[in-house]
Amino acid sequence: MENTSKHIDLENFDIDSIWMDSELEFRHQNENLQFRTNLKDRLTFGEVINTLFDIQKEDIHQLVINNGYLQLISENDDIWKYEFLNEHVQNGNGRDYLNNNCAGVQGNSVLTLSFNTYEKPTTKDDSIFNRDSILIVHLQYPKGIKEKSCYVQVTFCLPTPMYERPLRGMLPQSRTISLLMAFDEQNKEELDKEYELVVDSMNQKAIANRHDEFTYIESSLFYTLMYPIPSRNLFYGERSFTENRFLDAILYFEQAYFELQKMYWANQLTDELFTLMIDCAYKIGFCYQDLKLYNKAYVYLDFVARYDSSFVAQSEYINCLINLKDIRSYHYIESKIQEITAAETREADYTDFINFLTRRRCFCLVEFKQYEQAESELRKILEVDPLNDFAISELNYIHDLKSN
């Protein structure tokens, strides 16, 4: 897949790009979950919760609004007709929507709805049955252009009711949905026309192979519209990944990974897309590892290690095994060292990889309390590199262990 990011013309990054960037993200969501409103076509709180959670009007009890001030609504009709996006727009000053304030955090507000449900469980698992529930709605980070649209990140959390705490001290996970919602200052027809103008401009330049003339937003469009669906998620995943927003990146990368898996089972996965799936799995594993969720990282990195023999992929997998204190760590490292040293010809320089494997093997030896063998290998490292920080620190660590 060609990387056209080098063609981005940052000089053409204008204020409309802020709106278009958010609009692209909004339209990337499932069509059934694209909620938008304006001064004429109101989006009510009841319409949203009924669509997402099948909560009925007669079951709602009371709504508490915390946006720096507490407000309580008890009447069913008032709760159902409450327009929760309006506050960001009506209180906005110029282009700034960050007015609501909850718990001292600017631009955040929290709604808490209590309601009753008499829904019978659809399975034999009685633990999912509940009667009295609450729904927490978190509105955050409103952004956009005052003359066009305001976009609000809205997160719905339906906590699991607690009747008894299991012995392992954990409860079933809550049900959570996070969406980007829009409040339009212009009517939808005008916004669609502006959107289509940018798309047409991008299409004409792409057809004429004039990628160097792409504006910032046209380059983004090229990724999200011209490539298959997995690449749309990959585009947003890569953007989050490069910004070290690993939790956000995981959501996009996993969606792309699942889509590529579906293509595999449908016998539609080309060699190029299979390579893309391996890279996607590596990024997911890297993100989970950085978040110290090593079990989740292992699921993806084990797959990567089977098909990618590169230094980067193998080292990330070995680090994951060691972080898990997996008993296969030492033997896997040994097998890699033997594989490299036994090769008669090498297409690449494996010096850095051998040094990495040696350090990781020494680490395992220390963990296994094989101090003498570890000391011997660490001294060999110092013979080549007398100032090697790893070898010096590990030898000092072993010395301290023996002294104690």
Output the DSSP codes for 81-98.
H--TTHHHHHT-BTTB-T
398: which 2 tokens? 């072993």
Q: DSSP readout, 207-242?
A: HTT-GGG-BHHHHHHHHHHHS-HHHHHHHHHHHHHH
The pLDDT value recorded for residue 18 is: 64
Given this model, what pLDDT does residue 52 score? 92
CA distance 377 to 341: 17
Token pair 């990781």 is found at 360
Compute the distance between CA of residue 66 and CA of residue 100 in angstroms, rounded to an integer. 9
Q: Which residues pair with 63 in a beta bridge?
A: 73, 113
Q: Which parts of the chain sit beneath pLDDT 50? A: 1-15, 128-130
Q: How far apart are CA 203 and CA 205, in angstroms?
A: 6
Q: What is the pTM of this model?
A: 0.58
In sequence order, what are the residues at sequence separation of 6 or more whose Cβ sits closer than 8 angstroms to the Cβ of residue 170? none
Q: pLDDT tens digit string along 98-150?
A: 666 777 677 788 999 998 765 555 555 555 444 578 899 999 877 777 677 88
Query: Cα–chain-centroid distance for residue 59?
Result: 34
**3-class DSSP state of 149:** strand
**What is the predicted pLDDT for the residue at 13?**
39
Yes or no: say if 145 and 18 are a contact pair by the CB < 8 Å rule.
Answer: yes
Q: What is the pLDDT of residue 6?
A: 33
pLDDT attached to residue 216:
63
pLDDT of res. 151: 87
35 residue type, one letter: F
Tokens of 109: 């507000």
Question: Residue 229: its pLDDT value, please?
Answer: 57
| In this structure, CATH architecture of domain 229-403 | Alpha Horseshoe (1.25)
Domain layout of the chain by residue ranges:
28-120+129-163+170-186, 229-403
Cα(294)–Cα(323) distance, rounded to whole angstroms? Answer: 7
pLDDT at residue 306 in the model: 94
What's residue 317's pLDDT? 96
Whole-angstrom distance, CA of residue 386 vs CA of residue 89: 64
Per-residue model confidence (pLDDT) at position 203: 82
